[in-house]
Amino acid sequence: MYQKTSLDNGFRILTNSMPHTRSVSLCVYVGSGSRYEDDTHAGISHFLEHMLFKGSCNRPTSAQISGAIEGVGGVMNGSTDRELTAYWCKVAQPHFHQALDVLMDMVRNPLLDPEEVEKERGVVQEELSMSNDYPGYRLEILTDEMLWPNQPMGRDVGGNRESVEGITHEMQVDWFKRQYGSSNVVISVAGSISHNEVLEAVT
């Protein structure tokens, strides 16, 4: 049964209780994407998504973040598009609270370590280069450029090599503060759990 609640701090919670399942899927949606970026910031939402997996206050390394989910048999990932950045995981029902804690710690308390920013820059650049390896994806980018020329909607979500090279640690911190406020976040949970359980845990 689908239910939604808005908390006083701005977080919006959506749940779909499915008692016949034995797992829980969680997704944190943030209203941050490429359509909100100017040329100087092109690709910063996607770059920042990468950085949130690199360490948080309670789990300061990427291995601790992934291990907290994969260590209990779960899976996790993230994605960035034009209007949304999403962080998701799926775990067996008994591990719901741990999974929620991991995701919320990532989106509320990322370390954004300057050294990790420089390490991850190469990974992001490599992803941009990979777009040329897949003709279908390259065609989508060219189509967008043709439909929406000279504006964010017509750009690759990841930006370009020049813009990514210019994204600094300070820019990422500022972008995080601007886009990751609680009123710009939706928490979605589906699986073997009730809306009230989710509400209590998030609160």
Catalytic residues, by residue number, are 49
Report the chain's terminal Cα–Cα distance, integer Å: 20
Closest CA to 47 of 128, 148, 139: 128
If one counts every other C-beta atom within 10 angstroms of the C-beta of residue 20, the result is 7
What is the distance between the alpha carbons of residues 110 and 120, in angstroms, rounded to a whole number? 14
Read off the DSSP letter of residue 56: B
CB 176 within 8 A of CB 112: yes
Encoding tokens for residue 116?
């990790």
Strand order in the sheet with 75-80: 2-6, 12-17, 185-191, 23-30, 85-92, 75-80
Tokens coding 57? 């206050």
